[in-house]
């Protein structure tokens, strides 16, 4: 068999993906050497040219150092890395990681004074500022080099957000071997096993890599939300979509509308204060995550009747299934000018406190029968001479217009673009949720798209129906959406090249009818990490190959085990026996066994050709007198 240099290089590049990074970077090159972390290891910001690091970057550096020492994750191989112990005795040690800025870094300049000869310092924009920029303008690119000889490792980026993304990749390189028995967890060796590592210009295929949490069906304390945010940051997710209120409860404190939470929350202890909201937004932004708050209108608003009954049509109407998608029934009286003004004031009051350039107004599952049976709405329609659709259009334009005046891009569910005759601004962002097939319909209308399809990304599916009088039946979106199903999603399927440019990214979602703090982590993780790679890497790996479950499984195992080490109750994907033996639990009997045998043979051949290629390269470089600078 003849192998060209190109085919050898392509094969070796693909093998480099075995390094357990999630999401997989672009242009990843790895070696086979071991590298210890020195007890004196430090991370330093390169302060050349007067650069000044923001405090949240310094905090991120501190978190990275802490995690590297405290993850204490054994390698996912038989023996959990014990076979590395002998090689580590002679391995080099890494003492320093430096963070450097490209020449086109995002900064602001400040002069000490206005006199001639005054000095100028460059204050790098904080992560928390970069993370909430307009969704299409964020810079997350970084490069990473970790040499095998113990020389300084380097992360280079042109923004603090890019440096943060590099730090999260760097964290995933390190594993742990315990020391002597009497040392316990206090001792041990922290090391990397595939150095040198080179990543050139890693950046996301799509800027929106999100997760949605519904905190209205059941309440989630702030600490639970922060744990979700920490885990999102681990895998470079960029948007936390907070579906904070719905018909069942209104736990959000809105300045000037405090009665909504007082009367609409499940209890006084289950309310997000203004300080809580600002704390969550700040915590997220410092970890590279934008918070997209959604207040669904005009549907899913029954709970508002507890504080403002004059604004809600068909409140608590029965049987609820004739008036709403879920109990209780009730929708904003969209034909009423008073209700429209109320909604504008309410949305504006909370939106102006949020740094994100996006704000969600819902628009899904509007029940027409509710309005037909509501005397007040019918009277308003008769007085104005408008149809229900015309009233919806007026309501939408007024509420969206107020948000646009605050600098917000409005995010809505797909019905607003596909099922109603409403005028939406060109920069409106549409979440496609009913089916992945509807993305093409939205794209043809020219709107930007966030993929959130229930047939791939709904994490609550598979739990069975929760309505009390339907025991043992399936829910509308069953079966369970496995990580394999989500990983197979193609963000650009059936889209033209022009339409593909409208895709901002996507997210997995958790509607919480059957979720609470007690089972939050197992439902989300590690499945929700799938969308981080789907939308960071895109449809294909940098090698050109389409993403495959077989290649991804071992890396997803690795990040799941790392999550557990950080206190996240992520569910296992397989028995640990399988996690330590990649490929040996594949289905297929004899063909699977044969494939495993062939894979071992292929690995040996690849190693052989790698040695040959390196030897030939070195001989050639010596012959032409090349010296690396």
Q: Would you please indicate which residues are annotated as catalytic (active-site) residues? A: 365
| List of residues 6+ apart from 262 with CB closer than 8 A | 268, 271, 307
Residue keyed to tokens 């744990």: 227
- DSSP H helical ranges for 172-304: 222-234, 258-264, 274-286
Give the integer Cα–Cα distance in Å for 192 and 206: 29
Q: Are 430 and 482 in contact (CB under 8 A)?
A: no
Question: In Å, what is the CA distance from 379 to each residue of 252, 333, 370, 371, 376?
Answer: 32, 11, 14, 11, 5
Strand 153-157 to strand 208-214: parallel, antiparallel, or no bridges (unpaired)?
A: unpaired
Kind and range of the H or E run holding 472? none
List, in sequence order, the alpha helices (H) in 71-181: 85-88, 127-130, 160-171
- d(C-alpha 286, C-alpha 55), whole Å: 10
Is the peptide bond between 17 and the residue preceding it cis, with omega within 30 degrees of 0? Answer: no
- Other residues' Cβ atoms within 10 Å of the Cβ of residue 227: 21
Output the CA–CA distances (angstroms, integers) from residue 434 to 43, 295, 323, 589, in the order listed. 46, 19, 20, 38
- Report whether 210 contacts 534 (CB < 8 A): no
Look at strands 189-202 and 175-177 and give their pairing.
antiparallel
Which residue, chain included where needed, has tokens 């007040």? Answer: 376
């Amino acid at each position: 068999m003849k192998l060209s240099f190109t085919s050898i290089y392509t094969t070796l590049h693909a093998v480099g993906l075995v390094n357990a990074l999630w999401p997989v970077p672009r242009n990843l090159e790895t070696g086979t050497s071991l590298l210890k972390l020195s007890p004196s290891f430090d991370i330093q910001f390169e302060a050349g040219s007067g650069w000044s690091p923001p405090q949240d970057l310094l905090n991120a550096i501190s978190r990275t150092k802490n995690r590297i020492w405290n993850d204490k994750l054994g390698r996912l191989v038989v023996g959990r890395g014990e076979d590395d112990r002998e090689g580590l005795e002679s391995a080099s040690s890494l003492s320093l990681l430096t963070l450097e800025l490209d020449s086109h870094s995002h900064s602001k300049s400040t002069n000490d004074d206005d006199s001639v000869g005054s000095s100028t310092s460059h204050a790098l924009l904080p992560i928390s500022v970069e993370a909430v920029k307009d969704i299409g303008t964020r810079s997350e690119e970084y490069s990473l080099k970790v040499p095998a000889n113990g020389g300084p490792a380097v992360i280079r980026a042109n923004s603090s957000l890019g440096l943060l993304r590099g730090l999260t990749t760097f964290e995933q390189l390190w594993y742990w071997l315990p020391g002597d028995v009497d040392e316990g967890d206090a001792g041990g060796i922290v090391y990397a096993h595939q150095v040198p590592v080179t990543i050139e210009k890693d950046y996301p295929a799509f800027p929106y890599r999100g997760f949605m949490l519904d905190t209205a069906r059941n309440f989630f304390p702030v600490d639970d939300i922060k744990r979700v945010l920490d885990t999102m940051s681990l895998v470079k997710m960029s948007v936390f979509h907070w579906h904070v209120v719905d018909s069942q409860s209104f736990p959000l404190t809105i300045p000037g509308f405090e009665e909504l939470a007082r009367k609409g929350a499940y209890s006084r202890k289950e309310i997000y204060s203004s300080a809580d909201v600002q704390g969550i937004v700040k915590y997220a932004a410092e970890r590279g995550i934008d918070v997209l708050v959604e207040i669904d209108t005009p549907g899913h608003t029954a709970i508002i009747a507890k504080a403002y009954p004059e604004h809600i049509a068909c409140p608590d109407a029965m049987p609820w299934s004739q008036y709403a998608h879920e109990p209780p029934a009730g929708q904003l009286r969209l034909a009423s000018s008073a209700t429209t003004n109320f909604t504008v004031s309410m949305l504006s009051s909370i939106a102006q406190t949020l740094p994100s350039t996006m704000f969600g107004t819902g628009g899904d599952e509007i029940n027409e029968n509710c309005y037909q049976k509501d005397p007040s709405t019918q009277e308003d329609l008769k007085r104005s001479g408008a149809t229900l659709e015309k009233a919806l259009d007026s309501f939408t334009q007024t509420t969206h217009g107020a948000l646009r005046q605050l600098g917000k891009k409005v995010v809505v569910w797909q019905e607003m673009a596909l099922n109603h005759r409403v005028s939406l601004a060109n920069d409106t962002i549409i979440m496609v949720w009913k089916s992945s097939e509807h993305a093409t319909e939205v794209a043809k209308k020219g709107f930007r798209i966030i993929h959130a399809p229930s047939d791939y990304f709904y994490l609550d599916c598979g739990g069975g129906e929760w309505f009390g009088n339907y025991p043992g039946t399936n829910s509308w979106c069953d079966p369970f959406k496995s990580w394999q199903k989500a990983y197979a999603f193609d963000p650009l399927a059936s889209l033209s090249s022009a339409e593909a440019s409208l895709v901002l990214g996507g997210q997995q979602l958790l509607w919480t009818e059957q979720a609470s703090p007690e089972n939050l982590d197992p439902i989300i993780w590690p499945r929700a990490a799938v969308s981080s790679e789907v939308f960071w890497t895109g449809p294909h790996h940098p090698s050109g190959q389409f993403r495959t479950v077989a290649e991804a499984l071992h890396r997803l195992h690795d990040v799941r085990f790392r999550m557990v080490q950080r206190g996240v109750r992520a569910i296992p994907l397989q028995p640990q026996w399988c996690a330590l033996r990649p490929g040996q639990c594949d289905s297929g009997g004899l063909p699977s066994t044969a494939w495993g045998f062939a894979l071992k043979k292929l690995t040996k051949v690849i190693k052989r050709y790698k040695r040959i290629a390196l030897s030939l390269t070195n001989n050639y470089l010596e012959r032409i007198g090349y010296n690396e600078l």
